[in-house]
Amino acid sequence: MVARTLLSRIRPLAARARLFSRTYHSYDHPPPPGPFSSTESSILSASLPHIPSHGFTLTSLSLGAKDAGYIDASTNLFPQGPFALVRYHLMTQRLGLAEKTDSLETAEGAKPMGTGAKVKKLTWERLMGNKEVVHRWQEALALMAQPSNVPTSLKELAALSDEIWFLSGDTSVDTSWYTKRASLSTIYAATELFMTTDKSPDYADTREFLDRRFRDVQIVGGAMGSVGQWVGFTASAGLNVLRSKGVRI
Amino acid sequence: MASRLALRPLLRAAKPQFQATQVHRCFTSTTRRAESPSQSTNHERTTHFGFETVAEAEKEARVAGVFSNVAASYDTMNDFMSLGIHRLWKDHFVRSINPGSSSTIPSSGWTMLDIAGGTGDIAFRLLDHCTDINNSPQSTITISDINPSMLAEGKKRSLQTSYANSPRINWLVANAEHLDTVESNSVDLYTVAFGIRNFTNKEKALREAYRVLKPGGVFACLEFSGVTNPLFDAVYKRWSFGAIPLIGQLVAGDRASYQYLVESIEKFPKQEEFRDMIKDAGFVVPGKGWEDLTGGIAAIHKGIKPVEKA
């Protein structure tokens, strides 16, 4: 625990000074205020229930504004329009993951879950967070892919995979910190896209798809590790051969 | 000596902060500054009129003078001065507000108030957007200006549009600091484009805007602001202090009014400061509170009147 706290303090290495976000987790400091003010949050949270029927559109935003006691004109509060809805959904779902970590605890005496299993479990929980809006999710993906929104979307994806690894108890401080997050990001983005066309009951196909992706990463990761080991061994052997021949290196 | 004389107008234009001193002008015989009776005593509250300091009571009359002079040539001059870009700004301003949008069909219609909207530039665009984009022919607008001659110009122009004698337009001669005829909590959208700069008491006008807006209503302001890139700023200052008064003299035959125009732009609070003034009036601002246009020559400021929590 202490080690994890210390590690989380070291992580700001990569942090840029931004007002509304930080790229590390802290047990000692409250989280920074989100990008949305309380007024904006009240309208956005009131808009969420309208998304399944009206999608990620200005109409949902207007209806939400009305529910929160505002008027149609108040949607001017969101210069990015419906993308604010997408962002709010992404953010609330990501922050909601922390409450789902209870499901990671195993019964007394049973073998505790490994980090890998926890990551899989949390990734699945996050995907299920899109269940209500998955028939509208392609609209959200289109909004996220708009050039002006791409940086925010990518940042949100990075924050999500970091959140999942952090909640799973990952404490790596080497280059695997990056590879873990990068590979989880690709897996999540691919599975999320797959899910938009999945019609199977309880998203069984998505589940299989996700498992296959995790397996792929393991295989590729294992292969990369083996190749690395072989390269290292050959190099040091070659070096020793040269030294035995009298080359001064 | 001759070269120094020739250079003087250039030097002067490059250092606009020294404009207020008495200097020889090449192209004008304006003696406004010399004869201006603006020696205010300590007892009077003062404000600025361009680079001059005048008594508050006096500014209104002098702004009125400026706009009465330029009303007829207003659009031609705007085109010359901004190289036509002011039309793009105004279009973008209206599009970003998206007036008339509604979640219900048919649209309930917005009640709009365009302050300092004399010539109707913004008002006709707002109505067009309501009608054509958001299918909201119920939306109405009150065009208000303190200056009857600007308003007369707007009325004349409205006859050329589809809103000739339309009940959707109201005309109102009023001071934006005392909108007594406009009820409190009655307006969806309050716009002021290139006008608030000329108000004697901007804080008071903002409070009045807050009063007339419905809870959740939008205050939207298009106004000149500060250029953020120093290099571009230097070019822009040369243009505004060098070329604009000259164009004013050649095209509109009135240098003094356009000298006032560029000085008042220079004096107007920059983005952050004006955003804070909007906040102080009680508004909630979206995001950082403004959007720069053409590198910050102009900026769109917005504020939403928050709903009181019961």
Taking the CA of residue A129 and the nearest CA in chain B, the distance in Å comes to: 26
B225-256 pLDDT per residue, tens: 999 999 999 999 999 899 989 988 888 788 88
Question: How sure is the predictor about A107, in pLDDT bands with cuts at 50, 70 and 90?
Answer: low
Class of domain B74-227+266-304: alpha beta
What pLDDT does residue B17 have? 46
What pLDDT does residue A176 have? 86
Rounded to 10°, the helix A83-96/A137-144 angle is 110
Which residues from chain B sit within 8 angstroms of residue A75, using beta carbons?
A: 98, 101
Which residues from chain A sit within 8 angstroms of residue B214, using beta carbons?
A: 71, 73
SS3 B140: strand
B119 in a labelled binding site: yes
Any B CB within 8 A of A152 CB: no
SS3 B220: strand
Closest by Cβ to B101, choosing from A37, A39, A72: A72
The yes-or-no verdict on residue A32 having pLDDT over 70 is yes
The yes-or-no verdict on residue A14 having pLDDT over 80 is no
What are the extents of the domains in chain B? 74-227+266-304
Q: Flag if B98 and A76 touch (Cβ within 8 Å).
A: yes
Please state the ipTM of this predicted complex: 0.74
Any B CB within 8 A of A83 CB: no
Q: Which long-range CB contacts under 8 A does B272-279 form with residues at least 24 apart?
A: B274/B221, B274/B223, B274/B225, B274/B299, B274/B301, B275/B301, B277/B202, B277/B203, B277/B206, B278/B206, B278/B219, B278/B221, B278/B303, B279/B303
Higher-confidence residue of A49 and B14: namely A49
- Give residue A172's identity as a one-letter amino acid code: S
Residue indicated by tokens 């504020």: B303
Q: Flag if A58 and B188 touch (Cβ within 8 Å).
A: no
> Among B95, B85, B115, B112, which Cα is nearest to B197's?
B115
B20-65 pLDDT per residue, tens: 444 444 444 444 444 444 444 456 677 878 887 877 777 777 777 7
What pLDDT does residue A21 have? 61
Closest by Cβ to B110, choosing from A40, A73, A77: A73
Q: Which helix (H) or strand (E) holds B302?
A: strand B298-304
Range name among A64-73, A89-98, B6-15 with the lowest pLDDT average: B6-15
B51-66 burial: b if 16+ Cβ within 10 Å, else e:
bbebbeebbbebbbeb
What pLDDT does residue B22 have? 44
B292-304 pLDDT per residue, tens: 999 999 999 999 9
CATH architecture classification, A2-205: Orthogonal Bundle (1.10)
Question: How sure is the predictor about A20, in pLDDT bands with cuts at 50, 70 and 90?
Answer: low
What is the number of CB-based contacts under 8 A between chain A and chain B? 63
B103-161 pLDDT per residue, tens: 877 778 899 999 998 888 899 999 999 999 988 889 999 999 988 888 888 898 899 89
